[in-house]
């Protein structure tokens, strides 16, 4: 008998993780105009930084999230300014920038492996589990859902009520007009990369704390993250929120189907891939027309 209440709750947990990981990707994608595959390594870097702060220094999860956000955000800005910005100014195409991001990701991934080894690491903190009616809930999952809620409210406020948020929206919609209006588009992109890489690090910590940490942590979930960004509409924050939970729900319902068919649940990633393909064929603009562009 399928516990559908648990399936729905698990979908919310999965969607929350994908939302945190995808917001930065969709915003940087919308501004920089290329898919940054090194985004996966920002998640991995965040997981390791979080492990170091929370486990090795014993400073707890909240401080680990903050430190990982700041360090990964700085790394993201340095990567953009040192690699992608110079390439873009020299006329590099989307393909060139995408390949450069894959190469950067490879370098970061193996640098992380060399620094921390490829042996899996685990958070030792005990996340208390309890029953709430038909649901089985852990403290970590509540932290994750809370973080996604705070992120959604904070990003809404940033984009709608601050100068930098309005500059981000203007630069994403029409960078030439934004530049002509006196907006420093380069600075806006740097800030967006800082936020994007920082949020990726936060997603990496939650992913690592719920499973394990190893140099492929980010790469393991980069496909669903891209699926969320594309389904939501490139550069559309509100579309990404809806897409994250749509894909989270599709994956968890898909797991029920896989189990019913006697198949391995490792095929769940294929569900995101299927949604990605269908979106590109049927509605390449994603959910962008249904939400205000941000």
Task: List pLDDT tens digits, range 117-175.
Answer: 899 999 987 677 888 888 989 999 999 999 999 999 999 999 898 999 889 888 888 88
Beta-bridge mates of residue 136: 131
User: In this structure, are residues 234 and 214 in contact, taking their beta carbons and an 8 Å threshold?
Assistant: no
pLDDT of residue 110: 95
Band of residue 98 on the pLDDT scale cut at 50, 70, 90: very high
User: In this structure, are residues 48 and 119 in contact, taking their beta carbons and an 8 Å threshold?
Assistant: no
The rounded percent of the chain whose pLDDT value lies above 90 is: 56
- Mean per-residue pLDDT, 227-247: 88
Q: How far apart are CA 170 and CA 166, in angstroms?
A: 6
pLDDT of residue 257: 84
Is residue 289 over pLDDT 70? no
Q: Is 25 helix (H, G, I), strand (E, B) or coil?
A: helix
Band of residue 290 on the pLDDT scale cut at 50, 70, 90: low
Q: Collect all residues with Cβ–Cβ distance below 8 Å to 81 and sequence separation of at least 6.
A: 190
Beta carbons within 10 angstroms of residue 29's beta carbon? 22
Q: Collect all residues with Cβ–Cβ distance below 8 Å to 109 and sequence separation of at least 6.
A: 40, 41, 44, 215, 216, 219
Q: CATH number of the domain that 265 lies in?
A: 1.10.3470
Distance of CA 7 to the CA centre of its chain: 22
pLDDT of residue 175: 81
DSSP run (H or E) holding 131: strand 129-132
Total number of domains constituting the chain = 1
Closest C-alpha among 143, 188, 144, 186 to residue 165:
188
Place of tokens 């993201």: 76
Q: What is the pLDDT of residues 52-90, one digit of tens each?
A: 999 999 998 999 999 999 999 999 999 999 999 999 989
Q: Is 282 helix (H, G, I), strand (E, B) or coil?
A: helix
Nearest-10 Cα torsion for 88, 91, 93, 97: -30
Expressed as residue numbers, the domain containing 254 is: 4-290
- Mean per-residue pLDDT, 243-258: 89
The CA-to-CA distance between both ends of the chain, in Å, stands at 42
User: In this structure, are residues 131 and 3 in contact, taking their beta carbons and an 8 Å threshold?
Assistant: no
Q: Collect all residues with Cβ–Cβ distance below 8 Å to 249 and sequence separation of at least 6.
A: 8, 11, 15
Q: Collect all residues with Cβ–Cβ distance below 8 Å to 10 and sequence separation of at least 6.
A: 252
Band of residue 284 on the pLDDT scale cut at 50, 70, 90: confident
Beta carbons within 10 angstroms of residue 129's beta carbon? 11
User: In this structure, are residues 22 and 233 in contact, taking their beta carbons and an 8 Å threshold?
Assistant: no
Q: What is the pLDDT of residues 180-228, one digit of tens each?
A: 888 888 899 999 999 999 999 999 999 999 999 999 999 999 989 998 9
pLDDT of residue 171: 87
Beta carbons within 10 angstroms of residue 145's beta carbon? 18
Band of residue 288 on the pLDDT scale cut at 50, 70, 90: low
Q: How far apart are CA 78 and CA 74, in angstroms?
A: 6
Is residue 286 over pLDDT 80? no
Beta carbons within 10 angstroms of residue 239's beta carbon? 27
pLDDT of residue 274: 81
- Mean per-residue pLDDT, 274-278: 79
Is residue 269 over pLDDT 80? no
Closest C-alpha among 208, 207, 222, 199 to residue 68:
199
């Amino acid at each position: 008998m399928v516990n559908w209440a648990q399936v729905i709750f698990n979908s919310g947990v999965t969607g929350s993780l994908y939302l945190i990981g995808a917001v930065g990707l969709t915003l940087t994608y919308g501004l920089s105009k290329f898919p940054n595959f090194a985004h996966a390594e920002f998640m991995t870097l965040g997981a390791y930084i979080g492990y170091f702060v929370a486990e090795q220094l014993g400073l707890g999860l909240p401080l680990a999230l903050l430190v990982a956000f700041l360090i990964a955000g700085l790394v993201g800005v340095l990567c953009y300014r040192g690699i992608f910005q110079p390439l873009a100014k020299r006329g590099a195409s989307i393909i060139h920038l995408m390949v450069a991001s894959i190469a950067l990701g490879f370098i970061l991934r193996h640098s992380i492996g060399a620094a921390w080894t490829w042996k899996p690491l685990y958070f030792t903190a005990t996340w208390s589990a309890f029953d709430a009616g038909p649901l089985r809930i852990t403290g970590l999952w509540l932290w994750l859902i809370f973080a996604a809620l705070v992120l959604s409210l904070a990003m809404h406020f940033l984009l709608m009520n601050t100068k930098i948020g309005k500059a981000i929206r203007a630069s994403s919609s029409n960078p030439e007009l934004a530049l002509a209006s006196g907006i420093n588009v380069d600075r806006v992109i740097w800030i967006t990369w800082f936020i994007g890489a920082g949020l990726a690090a936060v997603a990496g910590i939650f992913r690592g704390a719920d499973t394990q940490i190893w140099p492929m942590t980010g790469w393991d979930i980069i496909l669903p993250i891209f699926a969320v960004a594309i389904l939501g509409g490139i550069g559309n924050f509100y579309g990404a929120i809806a897409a994250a939970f749509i894909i989270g729900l599709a994956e968890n319902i898909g797991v029920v189907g896989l189990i019913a068919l006697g198949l391995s649940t490792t095929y769940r990633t294929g569900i995101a891939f299927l949604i990605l393909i269908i979106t590109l064929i049927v509605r390449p603009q994603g959910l962008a027309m249904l939400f205000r562009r941000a």
